[in-house]
Amino acid sequence: MVVASELLVRYTVARQLGTALLVIVLGGVAANLGLLPTGATEANPVPVYEAVFGVVAPLSIFWLLLMVRLRDVVKAGRPVLLAFGVGAVGTVLGALVGIEAASAMASFGEARGPLAGMFAGTYIGGSVNFNAVALEYDVVRRGGLYAGAVAVDNIITAVWMVACLTVPKIFSKEVRAARTARGGAANDKDVSLEPQDRATVTPFDLAVAAGLGVFCVWLSGVVHDLMVGQGIWAPPAMLILTVFALALAQTPWMARLQSPGVLGMFAVYVFLTVIGAHCDLAALRDIGGLAGAIAALAGCTVAIHGIFAFGVTRILRIDGVTAAVASQANIGGGTTALALARSLGRPELVLPAILLGALGTAVGNFAGFTLAELLR
């Protein structure tokens, strides 16, 4: 999928879409045609997908953070945090409207409140919150309802990634100007790549970057487990990994490495392909009438989030790319927001994207459980 997307971007009019968008679309098409598995479950695990989420995604974060200079991040600070907060408010309001619309189409019984909490939580901070609420209120025991909610969530997440990639490119003068300056000429074969992504790398560079990545991913898990074992507060392993990467990134010798950008973007593209493959349209047919009601809940939640994420932030004079990255941190989490920041040519938003993803896990969990309780 990555090879096909790169060829399309380099040699066809698809260069305007970009590799990140194409791998999601091609992954979704291939999965629904039966060429790839349409997601993994406990009953039917897909080891490759588990490896991508468990290893490749953390490695992509580490490698791309190696290119972050903290002095560049200062420029992104307050606007992206404000945009994230505005989007979170929109998500909660959207879940409230969505559950009313969904309840008019189907009866969820005692699962009504938890369902709203699940979608509010996941569209503020990711699937960790979705599953936390589902487990607490035993929604997971209602097989058809839970499976339908998971299928709709995966589809909406992928669709929103496509929207966040597309909307800024259409409406943002900054993105259009950067795209023209970087590769507007028809004969530019590397229009999809940032300068550091098409750099010449050596085996030494690759060995250092790959070795550091694998070691730090392992070490962050060890440190987290040790802290938990000692009974003290432990930040998520991803945040520990972020600290390791940022500490290394500020050293002069790390700035000379050419490979982290190439490795990081390749890993992100593989991750996004799996995101696309999780768009299981057949799963919606399997749950019958519930599909429309759950889709209404998720659709209203994301639609109202979008009004806040792009409408209210425009009133606040926050640029479209910053709003899109913050919105993606809400809907898809830190890794997809990171991929979006790099794909839209805003490397200074890479670190804020990761940090917002972590913040979203905390805020989304709180919002999800609060909403579930209020609506019970």
Neighbours of 189 (CB within 10 A): 13
According to the model, what pLDDT value does residue 193 have?
Answer: 43
Task: Specify whether the CB–CB gap between 236 and 360 falls below 8 A.
Answer: no
How would you write the pLDDT of the chain (376 residues) with one tens digit per residue?
A: 999 999 998 888 877 677 877 888 898 899 889 899 887 666 778 899 888 888 888 898 788 778 776 665 555 578 888 999 999 999 999 999 999 998 888 788 888 899 999 999 999 987 778 877 887 888 866 666 877 888 888 888 888 988 888 877 766 655 555 555 545 433 333 334 444 455 577 888 889 999 999 999 999 999 999 999 988 887 778 778 878 888 888 888 877 787 887 888 888 889 888 888 887 777 767 666 678 889 999 999 999 999 999 999 889 988 888 999 999 989 988 778 888 887 787 878 888 888 888 788 778 888 888 898 888 7
Query: Is 34 part of any domain?
Result: no
According to the model, what pLDDT value does residue 201 have?
Answer: 77
Query: Is 21 part of any domain?
Result: no
Query: Is 24 part of any domain?
Result: no
**Overall domain count for the chain:** 1
Measured between alpha carbons, how far is residue 241 from residues 14, 47, 64, 66, 312 in Å?
A: 35, 23, 12, 11, 33
Query: Is 126 part of any domain?
Result: yes
Q: How far apart are CA 15 and CA 138, in angstroms?
A: 46
Which residues does 346 contact at the CB level (< 8 Å), separation at least 6? Answer: 76, 321, 322, 325
Query: Is 68 part of any domain?
Result: yes
**Which residue, 118, 144, 142, is CA-closest to 131?**
118
According to the model, what pLDDT value does residue 352 have?
Answer: 84
Query: Is 136 part of any domain?
Result: yes
Burial class (CB in 10 A: 0-12, 13-18, 19+), 284: middle
Structural domain that includes position 222: 56-169+207-271+285-375
Query: Is 8 part of any domain?
Result: no
Neighbours of 33 (CB within 10 A): 9
Could you tell me how far CA 358 lies from the centroid of its own chain? 12
According to the model, what pLDDT value does residue 286 have?
Answer: 66
Query: Is 175 part of any domain?
Result: no
